[in-house]
């Protein structure tokens, strides 16, 4: 048998061996397919249906015309009407609004006198991409409205007296004063870095814990642990605790790098940030331990991690705004601990918000932490029996 025939025989043997490993085939086909689909849907730089809050102090046909123009383009959708600036500030700080339109009480009067009627547009600048797009949308919408006003078309619902009134000497215009909050310089790195901190904490926790647990299986020390008088709960917590302590240093490291390299501000509670980061680390450890219970080798653990970790990053809003994702995909992101930590991280570091606003995300993180660690410990305990 020549060298080529020998090589071909070995090749067929390896191919048959891989074919018998159905788990490997599944892991080679399904994760790349799902990730490509998620990349296509999630990594969308354009946004629409931006959440707009409206404070209409004019309550006139002219103000209603402006609000209608803002929503007809489908760039904005009115999330809520407000009665005070304080309510708007609270909701922008909580991330419930992308922008807010404030129409003063003299808006209609100034237009009737042919003067420039100014309105204020408040934009959440945490996500510089969304803020830039929102400002651009608003500018184009108001410019189109000005062209309509210049053409002499009266707004819908205007009174007969106003229609029959003589035309003003000056052509009225609408002017928007844009105020960017939390990120006036529109630093893109601030949005990405504060989102990726949670992603890195979860990825580090899952990879390190999965590798540690699977290593125990490969070298056979799991059987040795069974011979000790320690109970299953003691063994599990003893294995998780050192990993948790080591990874908590990554919280301080990530914050230091973000502050020194990218100039990310720290406007809120450091203690709350570290507590939330610790929950993120525990969630990652729970994911990694769960992966280890379903795999028996480092190769299998890596393939399963590839199936889980990229979707966690893609569906977290860490690098792209959740508003840019399809409507059917956005609710799925609520099942992602990284998404909740990203909201907490940006709220604390960039907005200076406290637990009174961030508590829903904090409770979600606590829930994920308890659920993931409990399930992974239960699965691991089954293997110790």
- Reported as a single tens digit per residue, the pLDDT across 177-217 is 888 888 888 888 899 899 899 998 998 888 888 888 887 77
- Extents of the domains making up the chain: 50-181, 187-384
Q: In what order do the strands lie in the sheet with 76-81?
A: 76-81, 50-56, 99-103, 116-124, 173-181
d(CA 141, CA 130) in angstroms, rounded, equals 16
Question: Strands (DSSP E) along the chain, which ranges?
Answer: 50-56, 76-81, 99-103, 116-124, 173-181
Query: Closest by alpha carbon to 353, among 279, 258, 273?
Result: 273
Query: Closest by alpha carbon to 75, among 139, 21, 163?
Result: 139
pLDDT surpassing 50 at residue 350: yes
SS3 label, residue 295: coil
pLDDT for 351 equals 92
pLDDT band at 27 (very low <50, low <70, confident <90, very high): low
pLDDT for 335 equals 92
* Domain range 50-181, its CATH number among 3.40.1710.10, 3.30.70.380, 3.60.21.10, 3.40.50.720: 3.40.1710.10
pLDDT surpassing 60 at residue 157: no
pLDDT for 116 equals 86
Instruction: Supply the pTM of this predicted model.
Output: 0.77
d(CA 158, CA 369) in angstroms, rounded, equals 57
d(CA 277, CA 341) in angstroms, rounded, equals 7
């Amino acid at each position: 048998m020549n060298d080529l025939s020998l090589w071909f025989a070995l090749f067929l043997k390896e191919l048959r061996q891989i074919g018998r490993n159905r788990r490997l085939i599944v892991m080679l086909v399904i994760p790349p397919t799902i990730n490509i689909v998620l990349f296509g849907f999630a990594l969308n730089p354009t946004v629409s249906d931006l959440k707009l809050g409206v404070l209409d102090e004019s309550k006139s046909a002219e103000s209603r015309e402006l609000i209608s123009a803002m929503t007809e383009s489908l760039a904005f959708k009115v999330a809520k009407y407000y009665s005070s600036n304080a309510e708007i500030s609270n909701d922008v700080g909580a991330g419930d609004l992308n922008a807010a339109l404030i129409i003063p009480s003299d808006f209609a009067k100034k237009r009737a006198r042919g003067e420039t009627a100014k309105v204020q547009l408040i934009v959440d600048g945490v996500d510089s991409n969304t803020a830039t797009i929102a400002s651009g949308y608003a500018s184009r919408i108001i410019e189109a409205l000005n062209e309509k006003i210049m053409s002499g078309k009266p707004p819908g619902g205007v009174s007969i007296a106003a229609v029959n009134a003589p035309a003003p000497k000056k052509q009225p215009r609408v002017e928007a004063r844009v105020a960017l909050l939390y990120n006036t310089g529109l630093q893109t790195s601030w949005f990405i870095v504060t989102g990726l901190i949670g992603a890195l904490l979860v990825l580090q926790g899952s990879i390190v814990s999965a590798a540690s647990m699977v290593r125990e299986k490969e070298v056979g020390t799991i059987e040795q642990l069974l011979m000790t008088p320690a109970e299953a709960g003691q063994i599990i917590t003893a294995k998780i605790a050192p990993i948790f302590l080591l990874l908590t240093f990554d919280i301080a490291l990530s914050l230091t790098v973000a502050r020194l390299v990218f100039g990310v501000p720290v406007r809120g509670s450091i203690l709350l940030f570290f507590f939330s980061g610790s929950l993120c680390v525990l969630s990652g450890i729970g994911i990694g331990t769960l992966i280890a219970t379903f795999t028996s080798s480092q190769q299998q653990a890596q393939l399963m991690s590839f199936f889980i970790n990229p979707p966690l990053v893609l569906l977290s809003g860490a690098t792209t705004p959740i508003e840019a994702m399809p409507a059917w995909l956005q609710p799925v992101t609520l099942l992602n601990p990284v998404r909740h930590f990203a909201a907490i991280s940006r709220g604390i570091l960039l907005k200076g918000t406290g637990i009174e606003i961030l508590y829903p995300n904090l409770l979600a993180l606590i829930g994920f932490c308890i659920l993931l660690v409990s399930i992974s410990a239960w699965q691991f305990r089954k293997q110790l029996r």
